Structure 1
Amino acid sequence: MELIAKATALVGGTIAFVRRMNSPQQQAFGTAPEIPEARKQGIMTLKMPAAEGWKDGHLPTCAPGLKVNAFASGLDHPRWIKVLPNGDVLVAESKEQAGPPKTLMDHAAQATMRRVKAIGKSANRVTLWRDTDGDGTAEIREVFVENQNQPFGMELVGNRFYLGNTDGIRVFDFTVGDTALQGSGEKLVDFKPHGHWTRSLLASPDGSKIYAGVGSLSNIGDQGMEVEEGRATIWELDVASSDARIFASGLRNAVGMAWEPVTGKLWTVVNERDGLGDETPPDYLTSVVDGGFYGWPYCYWGQTVDDRVPQDAELVAKAIQPDYALGGHTASLGLCWMPEGTLPGFGDGMVIGQHGSWNRSKLSGYKLIFVPFKDGKPSGPSRDILSGFLSEDEKLAYGRPVGVVIGPDGKSLLMADDVGDIIWRVTGA
């Protein structure tokens, strides 16, 4: 496997270098992005920095007026965060567990992912972290639940705790203040595992529904659409009846979700398809409507047809154009609403953890960014909150941003870094 990794890095680096010479100079960002014409790549670009981590006091770079510290460290691939009403912080520790590679491209992709610790043995647990003295650093760590199946999303409704494993949603009885779940819980919904494996969860403001992001198995329905049934969707679970249905579809990999308080709309960040170029198509932030279809795999950014896919003209015609482009292959995963007053110098808007690309000639993402909102809609260019996760020569990843939440004090952000194995805390300087 090490030999494959080295060969992949060499071949991938050569392909990336050649393609970089023709790479767009401007990222496809904002409400009216310039999206380059698709260029079929044939051999997909594979470019992944090696996992370096943070050493010798090295920290992410903060926006002016902010500071950052490690709230918790020594984790095993932390991905998602949930803050409980008493201030306890839950962290899902899990990673992709790759199946047997079927093609040479599978071998190459897996070798590339291992360079940055993106696949391997999963911890399959949720840990609880408690800051007892309020200094912004957790002193207590407890195993909240273990022996799960790639746990990710977490929600609490009353005394019921919901956990999004890759194969479905489990629910447990839970009392706030306890440091661990008891029993094995109850399986409520089954999801197909593998492929895009994360299962984010978000409760409705009134607690009556829970929404779950379920990504596609493949890039563009490569194994047929039958195996994609129930995938590339956001599901809605009725808390009272435990009935579940597809709420929205055509979302290749919808991960983070958040409520926008002015309009009450559900928003999500979506990872788009590969193999059409560095900026084509861009990942995106969008509002989501009940019954909405957002294009995958037939088209992107509205009705731009992907001619690699057998077409469905009726679905293409109804595809909804996303609200805000986030750049090609930025792997925007984390999402939370941040009200004005949380961080100095920042108003209302969405905070997005951009995990970072592995499939373009010039790397993108590797940042925690802010998109300002006004009257329920994005209202301007994004701003960096944290950066510096990638070395200047793009060979090393010090960290990779994932989940983000408002801290227990309401005046901070907590962000999971699955390469640094740290939960970072951002506050005013």
Structure 2
Amino acid sequence: MSCKNLNILILCLLFPCLVKALPLDKIKLPQGFSIEMYAENIENARQMALGDNGTVFVGSRKAGNVYALIDSNNDFKADSKIIIASNLFMPSGLAFHNGSLYVAEVDKIWRYRNIEKTLPQIPTPELVYDKLPNISHHGWKFITFGPDGKLYIPVGAPCNVCESELPFASILRLDVETQETVIVAKGVRNSVGFDFHPQTGELWFTDNGRDMMGDNLPDDELNRVTQEGQHLGFPYIHNTDIADPEYRNDQIANLNTPPVLALGAHVAALGMMFYQGEQFPESYQNSIIIAQHGSWNRSSKVGYRLMQVELDKNEVKSYNPFATGWLQGEESWGRPVDIMTLNDGSILVSDDFADAIYRISYKKS
């Protein structure tokens, strides 16, 4: 072995980050925006939640871990990582509420009371709810508390497309104190991202369209709940008027609520949020930013990006790329999952493929 190759081998063993640096220079953003690493080696990073003291909590799916990331010197880079829990059943969903961290496994919701006050000691988790289905297909969760103080939980369809009994293919509202649940929306195939409109309080959510209908059908959707218990069409109708080739029920299909916006087929729209920070330009205020995880079975790949949806009240004004570059040709090096606003108005983006958390910020030129 030559000296040059030996030196490279030593660097690979001692400093793996030097040879695995992510190509952030490939990410294209609007003028004035920049992207940098917030945290690396966060295995299979999924949903994030922000603590009152700035702790960034991160769930995972395949890794089975829940993390706490701490930026102790306020330089917008995590300098310590604490594994709060491990070997859980796809603990993808997290929410922080009244000082406590809520963790969603496929079939259970756990609560870690006053967790920021005890770290690095980890409080004993309390079982909040254990009546969710234990089927892993579309079973991983995205959770958040609504303006009403209730916890919202999606229960995905246990299939690509099928008829299933409730609570499958729905979004639930859980009172974490009484354990009472209410079905907020039906006919929802697989939502892995939602937020509440900052002015109306309505629930808006992304929904992944079914597979095996070709490259271009059906679209993923951006939806809003205008009436409790409304039906979004699955599995009988997709998007506005696309009848499913395998399942038919005209009575239920007629109840279908069309999406606010068709997002594109196979883009895998996951996390979304209404931007309410004060750092970005005015045109971003109350607009929606959506993480598109990217296609897995399309003949040519799509997604792997962040998109911005600009609204006029409840009407879509524009739908444009915000951050692109994780997909280069047909090769991808990252897959965005979730988006969260920090206290300074910048945003964090989780990536379960690159095991990373990015920070996107804006500065006037």
Q: Is 1:416 the equivalent of 2:350? A: yes
Q: What does residue range 83-232 of structure 1 map to in structure 2 within 5 Å?
A: 83-95=50-62, 123-179=63-119, 181-192=122-133, 193-207=135-149, 209-221=150-162, 225-226=163-164, 228-232=165-169
Aligned: 1:69 with 2:36:
yes
C-alpha contact 1:189 1:244 (8 A) present in aligned 2? no
Write out per-residue CA displacement over residues 213-256 of structure 1, whole angstroms, 9 at most, x where no aligned residue: 111111111xxx35x54211101101331112322110100111
Distance 1:339 1:62 in 2: 19
- Structure-1 residue corresponding to 2:333: 398
Query: Cα offset for 1:378?
Result: 4.0
The yes-or-no answer on 1:255 pairing with 2:192 is yes
How far apart, in 2, do the equivalents of 1:68 and 1:378 lie? 30
Q: Which amino acid aligns with 1:62?
A: L
Q: CA deviation at 1:283?
A: 0.3
1:62 match: secondary structure: coil
How far residue 156 of structure 1 moved from its aligned partner, in angstroms, is 2.5
Structure 1 runs not aligned, ≥5 long: 1-51, 96-122
Please give the root-mean-square deviation of Cα atoms over the aligned residues, in Å: 2.0
- Among 264, 276, 285, the alignment partner of 2:201 is 264
The answer as to whether partners of 1:53 and 1:419 remain within 8 angstroms in 2 is no
Quick one: higher RCO (CA 8 Å, sep 6+), 1 or 2? 1
Counterpart for residue 387 of structure 1: 324
What whole-Å deviation, never above 9, does each CA across 1:333-375 have from its counterpart, x for those lacking one?
Answer: 0111102633236332111100001122221111011111222
Native 8 Å contact 2:337 2:351 kept in 1? yes
Q: Give the corresponding residue for 2:242.
A: 304
Which of residues 271, 287, 290 is equivalent to 1:349? 287
How far apart in 2 are the matches of 1:418 and 1:340?
Answer: 25
- Residues 46 and 93, structure 2, Cα contact 8 Å, conserved in 1: no
Relative distance call for 1:417 and 1:335 in structure 2 (3 A) is same
AA of the residue aligned to 1:302: T
Cα drift, residue 135 of structure 1: 1.3
Can you give the 5+ residue segments of structure 2 that lack an aligned partner in the other structure?
1-18
Residue 147 (structure 1) shift? 3.0
| Rounded Cα–Cα distance in structure 2 between residues aligned with 1:88 and 1:186 | 22
Structure 2 Cα separation of the partners of residues 273 and 55 of structure 1: 32
Q: 1:142 to 1:175 in 2, by over 3 A?
A: closer
Partner in structure 1 of residue 342 of structure 2: 407
Q: Deviations over 1:3-34 (max 9, x none)?
A: xxxxxxxxxxxxxxxxxxxxxxxxxxxxxxxx
**What's the counterpart of residue 309 of structure 2?**
371
* Inter-CA distance 342–178: structure 2 relative to 1 (3 Å threshold): farther
Query: Any conservation in 2 of the 1:83–1:90 contact (CA below 8 Å)?
Result: yes
Give a deviation string over 1:85-106, Cα, whole Å, max 9, x none.
11110111222xxxxxxxxxxx
- State, as a whole percentage, how many aligned pairs show the same letter: 28
CA deviation profile, 1:374-408 (whole Å, cap 9, x unmatched): 22x2432222221100112x0x2110000111123
Distance 1:57 1:67 in 2: 10
State the number of aligned residues: 341
Contact 2:139 2:155 survives alignment (8 Å)? yes
Residue in 2 that maps onto 1:37:
none
Q: In 2, distance between residues paired with 1:420 and 1:283? A: 23
CA contact (8 A) 1:349 1:378 kept: no
1:313 alignment partner in structure 2: 250
Letter in 2 for 1:147: N
* Secondary structure of 1:318's aligned partner: coil
* Partner SS for 2:251: helix
Superposed CA offset, 1:167-223 (max 9, x none): 22223322433325422421413222211122111111242x1100111111111xx
Report if the CA contact (8 A) 2:61-2:92 is conserved. Answer: yes
1:245 aligns with 182
The offset of 1:146, in angstroms, is 2.5
Give the structure 1 partner of residue 14 of structure 2.
Answer: none
User: Is contact 2:36–2:359 with CA below 8 Å preserved after alignment?
Assistant: yes
Question: Does the CA contact (< 8 Å) of 1:54 and 1:420 recur in 2?
Answer: no
> Is 1:397–1:419's contact at 8 Å kept on the other side of the alignment?
no
Q: Give secondary structure in 2 for the equivalent of 1:283.
A: strand
Q: 2:82 is aligned with what amino acid?
A: E
Find the aligned partners of 1:135 and 1:175 in 2 and give their Cα distance. Answer: 23
